[in-house]
Amino acid sequence: MKLFPRSTTTPIWQLYRYALPLLLFTAASFTSAKETDDESGLIKAEGWTVVKSTCTVCHAGMMITQNAGNLAVWKSRILWMQETQGLRTLTDEEEAVILNYLSVNYPQKASSRRAGLPARLLPANPAEASD
Ligand code: HEC
């Protein structure tokens, strides 16, 4: 008598092949779970209404959603707009809410550009003397 007839049981290790699709599906559903505002494109997370009313007066929300930075970077952009573009003075509370929203929802990205080629891997320069 066979205890585990081959045709009717799936060895547990075979279930691993479902792990990657399942992981990708889960990741995808978490990413798309971020609801955005139709008008400004801003992610609807804590503080977004303050950001919308303060930051989309002069330019589209896309100026924000296409940018990224840590808290210091976002603070420097706000300062720049206050010094050069007429952004009004914000209360400490407004600034804290806005900076938290921006640095959490539009954080610093890892560089996505490839590094330049080292000289030894570059093609020969035909303008260079060869002998
Ligand atoms: C008084 C007008 C005004 C307000 C209000 C304003 N901005 Fe701006 N902002 C500008 C101008 C002008 C530019 C430059 C636009 C361009 O380059 O075409 C700019 C550019 C930017 C940029 C791009 C900077 C870069 O590095 O190129 C970001 C990001 C930004 N704003 C975010 C914000 C945020 C966040 C707020 C709210 C705290 C805000 N802005 C509120 C006027 C404003």
Contact between residue 69 and residue 107 where contact means Cβ atoms under 8 Å apart: yes
CA of 22 to the centre of ligand 1 (A): 40
Contact between residue 131 and residue 80 where contact means Cβ atoms under 8 Å apart: no
Give the start-end residues of each E strand in the chain.
none
> Please, is 101 exposed, middle or buried when counting C-beta atoms within 10 Å of its C-beta (0-12, 13-18, 19+)?
buried
Instruction: Return the closest-CA partner of residue 34 out of 48, 18, 53, 22.
Output: 48
Helix, strand, or coil here: 92?
Answer: helix
Name the closest-CA residue to atom 35, ligand 1. 55
Q: Which residues on neighbouring strands pair with residue 36, listed in sequence order?
A: 43
Distance CA 22, CA 72 (A): 37
pLDDT in tens, 78-103: 999 999 999 999 999 999 999 999 99
Mean pLDDT by 10-residue block, N- to C-terminus, for the chain (131 residues)? 62 75 70 84 97 97 96 97 97 98 94 83 82 66
Length of the chain: 131
CA of 116 to the centre of ligand 1 (A): 31
Res 87: pLDDT: 97
Instruction: Return the closest-CA partner of residue 37 out of 24, 51, 27.
Output: 51
Domain ranges, ordered by start, for the chain:
54-108
Asked if residue 64 has its Cβ within 6 Å of ligand 1, the reply is yes
Asked if residue 57 has its Cβ within 6 Å of ligand 1, the reply is yes
Distance CA 70, CA 107 (A): 5
Both tokens of 25, joined, read: 């599906």
